[in-house]
Structure 1
Amino acid sequence: MRPEIAVLDIQGQYRVYTEFYRADAAEKTIILINGSLATTASFAQTVRNLHPQLNVVLFDQPYAGKSKQHNRQERLISKETEAHILLELIDHFQADHVMSFSWGGASTLLALAHQPRRVKKAIVSSFSPVINEPMRDYLSRGSQYLAACDRYQVGNLVNNTIGKHLPSLFKRFNYRHVSSLDSHEYAQMHFHINEVLQHDLERALSRARNIDIPVLFVNGERDEYTTVADARQFDRHVGTCQFSAIRDAGHFLDMEHKAACEDTRAVLLGFLKPDVREKRPRYQAAAQGQHALAM
């Protein structure tokens, strides 16, 4: 399953690395939006869950992954700018659906508030309209470690908090990934955390009232940081909501174990393609070089 790879010019300002997993029989296309500091590799299991029922598009933000070598990193990028990048990608790939993970949910909600004409359904996973105490502690410590460019502490923080239910193999990939990041990526994440702590999330939520398509919110039952109960408060902000809880799963859902992977796949396809009933694929552990990081 080899993707079509392209580096796209976004309004002459950014160059964005993309992977397009085409399926000849698929009628719809979905774009996946990473959590902060994550790359296309983070969605390896999700691609297997959705392809070939759907064409799947992955991309790296201009400051991350395989996009960063094509950009000058002269300024930090806001969630608002990430939303406009997503809108450009939706138009380019003529996407019918979008799906975000973790903090990718903020830019996704901002983009959907613009009511992109083609998008018919959206999935927001491991995200919450509430900054609860565990999440606030996580963000506060993360901000401190990122400002100090303390790679050891950032890696351990992710693995001991939102990533604590991951298999040990994924935790090793996470730590290796964090320890190899450039300083501008730490600065970018530090900027995003400060945006969130200074009420940027409230701006995204206020605009979410403009969303006019069905949105499915998916959270893990064991996730203390974006809880099932907190996620259900999205019904105050988004007009047409559905909610699903993945049993015995934490923040990383389909990456944590086989049953969570299969349950997540059933939920995603049940929402996106409710008339399709197919045998579930066998869960596959990450291949070397892939990681699960999302903050």
Structure 2
Amino acid sequence: MSPEIAVLEIQGQYRVHTECYRSQVAEQTVILVNGSLATTASFAQAVRNLHPQFNVVLYDPPYAGRSRPHNRHERLIGKQDEAQVLLELIGHFHADHVLSFSWGGACTLMALAHRPRTIQTAVISSFSPVINAAMHDYLERGSAYLASVDRPRIGQLINDTIGQHLPALFKRFNHRHVSSLDDHEYEQMHFHIQQMREHDLQIALHNARHIEIPVLFINGTRDDYATVSDARQFTRHVRNSRFSVIQEAGHFLEMEHKAASDETRRVLLEFLLPTQRDYRSRAAVRDTAFNAGHVLAL
């Protein structure tokens, strides 16, 4: 299963690496939004859970992964900038659904507040409207390690906290990836932490009142950083909130063990599939969009 790979020009200033897993049987498209320090590679299991029932689109933000070499990094990018990137990608791919992971939920909520016309539903996983004591400690230590570019401690921190329930092999891959990033990526993540703690989370929650589509929040019972009880407070911000709980799963849900993966897949398909639209009326438009002149490199 190989994706169609393209680098798209966004807003005349960013170049974004995208991967589109097309399906011969799918009528709708899901776009996935990464959490902090993650890349498209982090969504391997999510793609397996959603394809071939859906076309699945992944992307790296301008400062990370395979997008990073295509950008000049002259300034740091805020969550509201990322929301605008997401909105343009939604329009380009005519996405029907959006699924975010962890802190990717902030820019996703910001984007959804603009009510993109093609989006029917959204899924926000491993995210909470509350920075609880465990998350506060994680962000405090992470901020210090990122500021000093202490690579080994950054990698170990993630494995000891939000990644504590990952299998050993995943922890090794995780540590290798996180501890070998470019200095600019650490600077970008440090900036995100500061912005989220100061105002971006509140902006995202304030704007979420404009979201009208159904939004499903998924959290694991073993996640101490975005807890089930904290996530349920989204009812105060998103009027059409729905909630699912993955038993015996931590922050990384489907990546932690097979039962969690199977249950996450069941929950996703049960929520997303009943909302299918009439695809035929938009088939020609979608085919045009996939071949639009935004592509810079293949």
Normalised TM-score (structure 2) = 0.92
Q: Equivalent residue for 1:218? A: 218
CA contact (8 A) 2:209 2:238 kept: yes
Tell me the CA shift for residue 212 of structure 1.
1.0
Q: Which residue of 2 aligns with 1:172?
A: 172
Alignment of 1:29-44 (within 5 A): 29-44=29-44
User: Aligned partners of 1:184 and 1:177: how far apart in 2?
Assistant: 15
Show the 5 A alignment for 1:8-27.
8-27=8-27
Q: What one-letter code is carried by the residue in structure 2 that aligns with 1:161?
A: T
Distance (whole Å) between structure 2 residues aligned to residue 76 and residue 30 of structure 1: 27
Match of 2:206 in 1: 206
Secondary structure of the residue aligned to 2:19 is strand
Q: Which amino acid aligns with 1:176?
A: R
Aligned ranges 1:20-169 → 2 under 5 Å: 20-169=20-169
Find the counterpart in structure 2 of residue 191 from structure 1.
191
Query: How many Å separate the matches in 2 of 1:127 and 1:95?
Result: 22
Q: Provide TM-score, normalisation by structure 1.
A: 0.93
The one-letter amino acid paired with 1:204 is: A
In 2: Cα distance, 1:200 partner to 1:274 partner: 33
CA distance in 2, matches of 1:273, 1:238: 21
**SS of match in other structure, 2:216:** strand
Which residue of structure 2 lines up, in the alignment, with residue 282 of structure 1? Answer: none
Cα distance between partner residues in 1 of 2:167 and 2:42: 14
Alignment partner, residue 2 of structure 2: 2
State the partner residue of 2:244: 244
C-alpha distance in structure 1 between counterparts of 2:200 and 2:32, whole Å: 22
Q: Give 1:173's aligned amino acid.
A: F
Distance 1:58 1:38 in 2: 12
Q: Deviations over 1:219-244 (max 9, x none)?
A: 00000000000000000000101000
- The letter for the 2-side match of 1:187 is E
How far apart, CA to CA, are the structure 1 residues paired with 2:20 and 2:240? Answer: 29
Runs of 4+ in structure 1 displaced over 3 angstroms? none
Could you tell me which residue of structure 1 aligns to residue 230 of structure 2?
230
Name 1:288's counterpart in structure 2. Answer: none
Shift of 1:26: 0.3
Quick one: distance in 2 between partners of 1:177 and 1:59?
Answer: 17
Q: Which runs of 5+ in 1 are unaligned?
A: 277-295
- Alpha-carbon distance, 1:34 to partner: 0.2
Deviation at residue 180 of structure 1 after TM alignment: 1.2
How far residue 199 of structure 1 moved from its aligned partner, in angstroms, is: 2.8
Partner Cα separation in structure 1 for residue 213 and residue 274 of structure 2: 16
Contact 2:216 2:243 in 1 (8 A): yes
Q: Which runs of no fewer than 5 residues in structure 2 stay unpaired?
A: 277-298
Query: 2: distance between equivalents of 1:179 and 1:227?
Result: 27
Q: CA RMSD in A?
A: 1.0
Amino acid at match of 1:138: Y
Give the Cα–Cα distance (whole angstroms) in 2 for the partners of residues 137 and 274 of structure 1: 40
Partner amino acid for 2:251?
Answer: H
Preserved CA contact (<8 Å) 2:125 2:217 = yes
Percent identical across equivalent pairs?
Answer: 69
Equivalences for residues 264-275 of structure 1 within 5 A: 264-274=264-274
Q: Which amino acid aligns with 1:223?
A: D
Between the aligned partners of 1:198 and 1:147, the Cα distance in structure 2 is 17
Per-residue deviation, 1:216 = 0.1
Quick one: distance in 1 between partners of 2:212 and 2:130? 22
SS at match of 1:224: coil
> Structure 2: which amino acid aligns with 1:237?
H
**Shift of the alpha carbon at 1:274?**
3.8
Confirm or deny: 8 A CA contact 2:120 2:275 kept in the other structure: no
Displacement after TM superposition at 1:275 (Å): 8.8
What secondary structure sits across from 1:273 in the alignment? helix
CA distance in 2, matches of 1:275, 1:158: 36
